[in-house]
């Protein structure tokens, strides 16, 4: 069979299993009231939790950054692409998260690849929660292939199993042990057992790394994320990664930790060394985003109110909610076709709610992933609940 014949057969198979994915074309800025495929919709599927992606002050800072730096950075950070704006943002992120230093990456995916690549060697072991984001799993698998390290996975949030794995590992004294976990699990919305993870790692001479992509900006008194929420210092949580394109509303990612950690990433992380730096103007915009996120705590307060409202209403409707106290509120459906059909019916009523199916989630756990934003109001949530109720009765 030719390339096209082979691929068309595979694509048809995805369609038959209700696993085929299609992009929606948006028009205009990111907002809860948006246009997708020419239709005006009320969106409940964005990760813009604080509603900052179209904030006028951040847009103004971006324009000022373009005036000062132009559009592109021109090179990798270690060549000539590291600007004063990048450096100021790294310093601000370090201060915000209570770490010695921070290092910018273009995406969270690349940050996770870069961490494992720089830290793990032949015979070292990476331990991961089975529901971790694909970027962490891929990072460990790449390390297995390139450096000869090992990957061990434990059932979701099953710390007794992780403890046993750590103790059973037949390792030399110099073998490195890295435990990697989402802080907020992106498709379930629940939290890792962060404090217990930290204690377990310290007791077993393991390094803890948390991916706080969905917690940074949302959790903690000032929005500094999971580390602030659980009062974990740099020793208790030595490797902290978060993204800047979700609650912060901009783009990019960073790793925060000790001076030795950041210097090691600069010297050894292939994902950092061989990538063009993000545009400096984006760094300027993110500095403004951090300022707003810290100062406007009402955004986090409002999110909590909306979460409680949605969960109470969904429970009254008898919907199968997952155990989440975050803006990620999945409704468990199970069947791929049913989840896709419900998503399509909601869109027909003017609501954008994505159907999440395997392999993003385990087989048999297809779901509607509802996400809430500080720009939503109580009426928006009531309208969604009414649409879900109408769909139940049809």
**pLDDT tens for each residue of 75-114:** 999 999 999 999 999 999 999 999 999 999 999 999 999 9
* 69 and 155 assigned to the same domain: yes
* 169 and 233 assigned to the same domain: yes
Q: Please tell me whether residue 204 adopts helix, strand or coil conformation.
A: coil
Given 239, 262, 295, which residue is the final one in a domain? 295
Alpha helices in 153-221 (DSSP H): 159-168, 194-203
pLDDT of amino acid 169: 80
* 114 and 144 assigned to the same domain: yes
pLDDT of amino acid 349: 94
Q: How many whole angstroms separate alpha carbon 329 and alpha carbon 334?
A: 15
Q: How many whole angstroms separate alpha carbon 78 and alpha carbon 391?
A: 55
Structure tokens belonging to residue 130: 């089975």
Look at residue 6 and tell me if it is in a domain.
no
pTM for this prediction: 0.95
Look at residue 261 and tell me if it is in a domain.
yes
Look at residue 13 and tell me if it is in a domain.
no
Look at residue 284 and tell me if it is in a domain.
yes
Does residue 359 have a cis peptide bond before it, meaning omega lies within 30 degrees of 0? yes
Q: Which domain holds residue 65?
A: 56-295
Look at residue 240 and tell me if it is in a domain.
yes
Given 267, 295, 323, which residue is the final one in a domain? 295
* 213 and 94 assigned to the same domain: yes
Given 295, 330, 356, which residue is the final one in a domain? 295
* 269 and 303 assigned to the same domain: no
The string of pLDDT tens digits covering residues 310-328 is: 999 999 999 999 999 999 9
* 151 and 186 assigned to the same domain: yes
Look at residue 15 and tell me if it is in a domain.
no
* 108 and 190 assigned to the same domain: yes
Q: At 349, which CATH number?
A: 3.90.1150.10
Look at residue 377 and tell me if it is in a domain.
yes
* Mean pLDDT taken over the chain: 96
Percentage, residues of the chain above pLDDT 70:
99
Count: domains in the chain:
2
Q: How many whole angstroms separate alpha carbon 121 and alpha carbon 198?
A: 23
Look at residue 2 and tell me if it is in a domain.
no
Residue found by looking up tokens 């580390």 in the block: 227
pLDDT in tens, the chain (394 residues): 999 999 999 999 999 999 999 998 888 888 999 898 889 999 999 999 999 999 999 999 999 999 999 999 999 999 999 999 999 999 999 999 999 999 999 999 999 999 999 999 999 999 999 999 999 999 999 999 989 999 999 999 999 999 999 988 866 667 899 999 999 999 999 999 999 999 999 999 999 999 999 999 999 999 999 999 999 999 999 999 999 999 999 999 999 999 999 999 999 999 999 999 999 999 999 999 999 999 999 999 999 999 999 999 999 999 999 999 999 999 999 999 999 999 999 999 999 999 999 999 999 999 999 999 999 999 999 999 999 999 988 7
* 80 and 119 assigned to the same domain: yes
Percentage, residues of the chain above pLDDT 90:
93
The string of pLDDT tens digits covering residues 153-175 is: 999 999 999 999 998 886 666 78
pLDDT of amino acid 168: 87
Q: At 274, which CATH number?
A: 3.40.640.10
* 35 and 79 assigned to the same domain: no
Give the chain's end-to-end CA distance (angstroms, integer). Answer: 45
Going from the C-alpha of 64 to that of each of 116, 149, 185, 294, 382, the distances in angstroms are 36, 45, 35, 21, 39
* 307 and 239 assigned to the same domain: no
* 170 and 209 assigned to the same domain: yes
* 312 and 284 assigned to the same domain: no
What is the DSSP-derived secondary structure letter of residue 48? -
């Amino acid at each position: 069979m030719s390339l096209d014949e082979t691929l068309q057969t595979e694509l048809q198979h995805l369609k038959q299993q209700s696993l085929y994915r299609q992009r929606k074309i948006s028009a205009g800025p990111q907002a809860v009231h948006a246009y997708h495929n020419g239709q005006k919709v009320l969106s409940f599927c964005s990760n813009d939790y604080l509603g900052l992606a179209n904030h006028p002050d951040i847009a103004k800072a971006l324009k000022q950054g373009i005036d000062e730096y132009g559009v592109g950075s021109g090179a990798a950070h270690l060549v000539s692409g590291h600007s004063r704006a990048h450096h100021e943002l790294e310093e601000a992120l370090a201060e915000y998260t209570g770490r010695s230093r921070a290092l910018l990456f273009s995406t969270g995916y690349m940050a996770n690849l870069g961490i494992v690549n720089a830290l793990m060697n032949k015979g070292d072991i990476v331990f991961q929660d089975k529901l971790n984001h694909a970027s962490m799993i891929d990072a460990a698998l790449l390390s297995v292939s390139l450096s000869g390290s090992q990957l061990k996975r434990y059932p979701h949030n099953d710390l007794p199993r992780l403890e046993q794995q750590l103790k059973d590992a037949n390792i030399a004294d110099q073998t490195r042990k890295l435990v990697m976990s989402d802080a907020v699990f992106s498709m379930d919305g629940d939290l890792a057992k962060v404090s217990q993870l930290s204690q377990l790692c310290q007791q077993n001479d393991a390094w803890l790394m948390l991916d706080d992509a969905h917690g940074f900006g949302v959790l903690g008194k000032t929005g500094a994320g999971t580390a602030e929420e659980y009062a974990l210092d740099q020793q208790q949580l030595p490797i902290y990664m978060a993204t800047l394109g979700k609650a912060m509303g901009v783009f990019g990612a960073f790793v925060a930790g000790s001076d030795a950690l950041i210097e090691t990433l600069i010297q050894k992380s292939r994902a950092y060394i061989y990538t063009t730096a993000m545009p400096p103007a984006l760094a300027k915009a993110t500095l403004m985003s951090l300022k707003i996120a810290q100062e406007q705590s009402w955004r986090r307060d409002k999110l909590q109110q909306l979460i409680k409202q949605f969960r109470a209403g969904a429970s009254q409707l008898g919907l199968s909610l997952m155990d989440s106290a975050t803006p990620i509120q999945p409704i468990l459906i199970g069947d791929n076709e049913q989840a896709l059909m419900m998503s399509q019916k909601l869109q027909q009523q003017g609501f954008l709610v994505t159907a999440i199916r395997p392999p993003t989630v385990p087989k048999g756990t297809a779901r509607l992933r509802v996400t809430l934003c500080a720009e939503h109001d109580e009426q928006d949530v009531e309208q969604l609940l009414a649409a879900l109720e109408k769909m139940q009765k049809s």
